[in-house]
């Protein structure tokens, strides 16, 4: 079969694909029909993978995909398939792994050349239209690929077979399970600690990413073993990040990464997942230090989230673009004259707290950031500073806004729902918990025949969900249960795990695949072990099973979590990719913490202590004094007495004696 000789992206549910619907390229979305067309025509596939907020994706689109001459070559030589990596992380991970296996550095846009049956034989990332940056021009690349395809097809096919087998072994293979070892977390934390930039935070060098899975490893090491240097590495990284240009000092929210080692010049796209993980990390940091810096940045970030990222129904959009009016960072940057015109006589006061910088190589307007001293001063003088920031924000709202990718991704929303629920507990913000509950309800309510969608854009829904979707929503449900005490969230979590088992569990019951068993368009059914900017699907699944087991006392779930963790850890030894997420999740499986609190709803004394001491290892269950029905069990099936306030902290199957004094509970929960 062959599809119409035209661009077919206009009806797609992805804003990124819709961005390319006006290209002269005859784009197809990834589908069985597009793959069948390549086989029918015996043409190689040109696969282009990107996402809506990706700056270099826009550059390549403007240079090449919108150019009639380039498009004519693409249409003549290839079947052209465009993929939104956020909609199809399963496809993206396969071909990114292939690029790495070729010895190339990854990134987006990802440009891969495939055989007609979808096997990769060559690729790269961004190619300029004309040769520059030491890279060949895109037309030159395509003609060379076509020549090799015509003249060396047999050797290319053999190469593609070998590369595909390699990727399959890496991403889908089964390996011997590993013994879960308490030292693994400490070993990884020690290696990460050795990579930390002791002056600027984050990992040494540039570019600088928030690297949440690594920060999570360090924080768990501090909580478990009291390694103060690991705690301090996280706190320093957060403080430097929050002072840099990577943080939006006017409107709140974190950009994707900085191009330099100082956190100064960001790629200005804002991703939902980065900000979910920022809120969660700042929540832990605030609890550990009491520093108002972390509390205020949580408040600023949530305010941005609720102002700019909510979609109809209450879920959250995927991202904001780096560009507006065709220029990167234009919406977010300011000249001194811009600030003077908005603030007038107050601009001198503003510059007590902020600096404008135009670093070498940056072509836009200056970037707002702070020194450490200015950051401290700004927190102390926040009441003075707030009206100035409000005026700048109001002025900025009049500018041409960056594009928003309004699709609601289930797994990313799950991360944000959990972060909002947790921060809402710590900072006693019931409105945040309500916002989390609304987003959860919208996504759970979009299910069809019990199955979650992976993505939604208005009425358009993309089914089936990935394993990461069920895991993230399970974790979100448990966080909402902790925040509200509503047992319906536990039942929904059970349902998500049942769907995960039904559609994603492997035939040996050793773990899970990222894609569902009825997903017929994936060349390789991968596990989902690889961390990207967020923890891997496998790590989120282990965490979800551990947390649900703790919340319910279901020992079978605990066994399932243990088996999944052992096999995931066995695979990590064979992988060439960073997998901190699996190590972190296995640490939870080894030593799950459960806190059962019986307290008075009218005058609680113990619940506030639990709320202000969040711990990612712990599941909290609150019971009202006098409750008889549906009491949670302690390990061994023991029912806690509910005649008076008390708190039981359990590690695995062992509980400490009941604590009734708030100060004693505070000391217990804060002790590494």
In the numeric block, the tokens 């060439």 are attached to 576
Rounded CA-CA distance 238/243 in Å is 9
Per-residue CA distances from 295 to 221, 290, 320, 374, 512 (Å): 23, 8, 24, 17, 37
- b (16+ CB within 10 A) / e for 246-263: bbbbbbbbbbbbbbbbbb
Distance CA 51, CA 53 (A): 6
- The whole-number pLDDT of residue 672 equals 66
How confident is the model at residue 238, as a pLDDT?
Answer: 98
Q: Are 245 and 369 in contact (CB under 8 A)?
A: yes
Question: What's the pLDDT score for residue 66?
Answer: 98
pTM confidence score: 0.96
Does domain 15-172 bear CATH number 3.40.50.300? no
What is the bridge-based pairing of β-strands 120-124 and 79-84? unpaired
For residue 574, the model assigns a pLDDT of 66
Instruction: Please tell me whether residue 105 adopts helix, strand or coil conformation.
Output: coil
Strands of 646-651's sheet in order across: 618-624, 593-599, 646-651, 654-655
Q: What are phi and psi of 61, to 5 degrees?
A: -65, -45
DSSP state of 208: B
Q: What is the DSSP string of 261-297?
A: TTS-SEE--EEHHHHHHHHHHHHHHHHHH--HHHHHH
Q: What is the pLDDT of residue 575?
A: 65
The pLDDT value given to residue 520: 86
Distance CA 177, CA 572 (A): 10
Q: Residue 415 burial by CB count (10 A; 0-12/13-18/19+): exposed, middle or buried?
A: buried
User: Which letter, b or e, does each residue of 194-231 get, where b requires 16 or more Cβ atoms within 10 Å of its Cβ?
Assistant: eebbeebbbbeebbbebbbbbbbbbbbbbbbeebeebb
Q: What's residue 572's pLDDT?
A: 86
Give CA 62 to chain center in angstroms.
28
473 and 443 in contact (C-beta within 8 Å)?
A: yes
β strands within 332-443, DSSP E: 355-357, 367-369, 404-405, 408-409
Burial code of 20-46, b = ≥16 C-beta within 10 A, e = fewer? beebbbbbbbbeeebbebbeeeebbbb
How far is the CA of 533 from the CAs of 34, 198, 635, 637, in angstroms? 29, 22, 36, 39
Q: d(Cα 278, Cα 73) in Å, to the nearest integer? A: 44
Residue 524 — left, alpha, or beta (φ > 0 → left; ψ -120 to 50 → alpha)? Answer: beta
Identify the pLDDT of residue 15: 94
Topology adopted by domain 183-328+405-590: Glycosyltransferase (1.50.10)
Domain ranges of the chain: 15-172, 183-328+405-590, 336-398, 593-670
Question: For the chain, which residues score pLDDT lower than 70?
Answer: 574-578, 672
Query: Residue 236 belongs to what H/E stretch?
Result: helix 228-243
């Amino acid at each position: 079969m062959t599809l119409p000789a035209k661009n077919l992206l206009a009806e797609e549910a992805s804003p990124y694909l819709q961005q390319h619907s006006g290209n002269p390229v005859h784009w197809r979305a990834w589908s069985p029909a597009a793959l069948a067309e390549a086989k029918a025509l015996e043409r190689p596939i040109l696969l282009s993978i990107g996402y809506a907020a990706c700056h270099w994706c826009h550059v390549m689109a403007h240079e090449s995909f919108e150019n009639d001459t380039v498009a004519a070559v693409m249409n003549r030589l290839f079947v052209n398939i465009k993929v939104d990596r956020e909609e199809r992380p399963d496809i993206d991970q396969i071909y990114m792994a292939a690029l790495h296996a070729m010895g190339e550095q990854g990134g987006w846009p990802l440009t891969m050349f495939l055989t007609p049956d979808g096997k990769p034989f060559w690729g790269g990332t961004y190619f300029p239209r004309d040769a520059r940056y030491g890279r060949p021009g895109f037309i030159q690349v395509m003609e060379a690929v076509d020549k090799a395809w015509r003249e060396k097809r047999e050797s290319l096919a053999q190469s593609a077979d070998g590369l595909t087998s390699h990727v399959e072994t890496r991403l889908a293979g089964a390996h011997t399970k590993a013994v879960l070892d308490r030292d693994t977390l400490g070993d990884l934390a020690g290696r990460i600690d050795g990579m930390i930039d002791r002056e600027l935070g984050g990992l040494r060098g540039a570019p600088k990413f928030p690297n949440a899975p690594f920060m999570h490893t360090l924080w768990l090491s501090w909580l478990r073993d009291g390694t103060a240097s690991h705690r301090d590495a996280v706190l320093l990284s957060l403080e430097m990040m929050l002072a840099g240009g990577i943080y939006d000092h006017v409107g709140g929210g974190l950009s994707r990464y900085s191009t330099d080692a100082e956190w100064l010049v960001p790629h200005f796209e804002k991703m939902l997942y980065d900000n979910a993980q920022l809120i969660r990390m700042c929540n832990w940091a605030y609890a550990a230090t009491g520093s108002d810096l972390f509390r205020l940045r949580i408040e600023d970030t949530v305010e941005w989230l609720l102002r700019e990222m909510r979609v109809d129904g209450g879920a959250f959009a995927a991202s904001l673009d780096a560009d507006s009016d065709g220029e990167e960072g234009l919406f977010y940057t300011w000249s001194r004259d811009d600030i003077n015109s908005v603030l007038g006589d107050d601009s001198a006061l503003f510059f007590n707290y902020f600096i404008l910088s135009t670093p070498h190589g940056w072509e836009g307007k200056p970037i707002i950031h702070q020194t450490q001293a200015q950051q401290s001063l700004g927190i102390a003088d926040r009441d003075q500073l707030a009206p100035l920031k409000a005026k700048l924000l109001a002025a900025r709202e009049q500018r041409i806004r960056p594009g928003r990718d309004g699709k609601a991704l289930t797994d990313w929303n799950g991360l944000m729902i959990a972060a909002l629920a947790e921060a809402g507990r710590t900072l006693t913000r019931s409105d945040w918990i309500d916002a989390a509950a609304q987003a959860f309800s919208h996504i759970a309510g979009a299910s069809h025949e019990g199955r979650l969608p992976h993505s939604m854009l208005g009425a358009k829904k993309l089914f089936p969900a990935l394993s990461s979707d069920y895991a993230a929503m399970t974790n979100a449900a448990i966080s909402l249960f902790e925040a509200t005490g509503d047992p319906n969230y536990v039942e929904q979590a059970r349902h998500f795990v049942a769907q995960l088992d039904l559609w994603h569990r492997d035939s040996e019951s050793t773990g899970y695949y990222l894609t569902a068993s009825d997903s017929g368009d994936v060349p390789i059914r991968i596990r989902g072990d690889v961390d990207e900017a967020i923890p891997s699907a496998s790590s989120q699944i282990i965490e979800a099973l551990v947390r649900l087991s703790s919340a319910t006392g279901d020992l079978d779930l605990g066994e399932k979590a243990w088996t999944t963790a052992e096999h995931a850890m066995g695979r990590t030894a064979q992988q060439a990719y960073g997998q901190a997420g699996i190590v972190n999740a296995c640490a939870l499986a080894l030593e799950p913490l459960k806190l059962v609190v019986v307290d008075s709803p009218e005058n609680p004394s113990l619940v506030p202590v639990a709320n202000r001491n969040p711990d990612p290892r712990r599941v909290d269950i609150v019971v009202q004094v006098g409750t008889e029905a549906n009491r949670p069990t302690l390990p061994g099936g023991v029912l806690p007495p509910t005649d008076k306030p008390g708190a039981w902290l359990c590690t695995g199957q062992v509980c400490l004696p009941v604590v009734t004094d708030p100060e004693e509970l505070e000391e217990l929960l804060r002790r590494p």
